[in-house]
Amino acid sequence: MAEARHNSIELGKIVSRAPEVHSGDLVFSGTRVPVDTLVDYLKADHSIEEFLIDFPSVERWQIESYLDLSPDGLDRLRAQGAGTS
C-alpha cells in the first residue's frame, strides 16, 4: 500500500488532471500543456527539443519520466484523477 501511495505522488509530479485546468485533460504538472500535445509532436517526427522550445513551462525530466511510465501507471493515474491538488 505504501508503494502505491508513493507511486501516485511521483506520478502527480509528472502529470496531473483537474477539471479547472484545460477542461480536465491530462497535462504536465504545473502547466496547462496537455500530454497529448507531446504525443502529437512525437508522432509528427518532431524532437523533444522542439517541444521544449515551443512549451518552455514543461521540463525535460517530466517528458522523460512520462515516456518511461508503464501503461499500468498511466491507467492508475487516470483512474485516480491524476493527483489533483
pLDDT digits (tens, 9 = 90+) for 9-66: 578 889 998 888 888 899 999 999 999 999 889 888 899 999 999 999 999 999 888 8
Residue 70's alpha-carbon distances to 13, 29, 39, 42, 76, in angstroms, are 16, 18, 15, 18, 10
76 belongs to a structural domain: yes
Q: Kindly state whether residue 26 falls inside one of the protein's structural domains.
A: yes
Residue 85 within a domain:
no
In a domain, 30, yes or no: yes
**Using an 8 Å Cβ cutoff, are 38 and 29 in contact?**
no
* Domains contained in the chain, number: 1
**Inside any domain, residue 72:** yes
Asked whether residue 70 is domain-assigned, the answer is yes
Answer yes or no: is 53 within a domain.
yes
Domain boundaries, position 16: 2-80
Indicate the pTM of the whole model.
0.70
Q: 508503464: which residue's cell?
A: 70
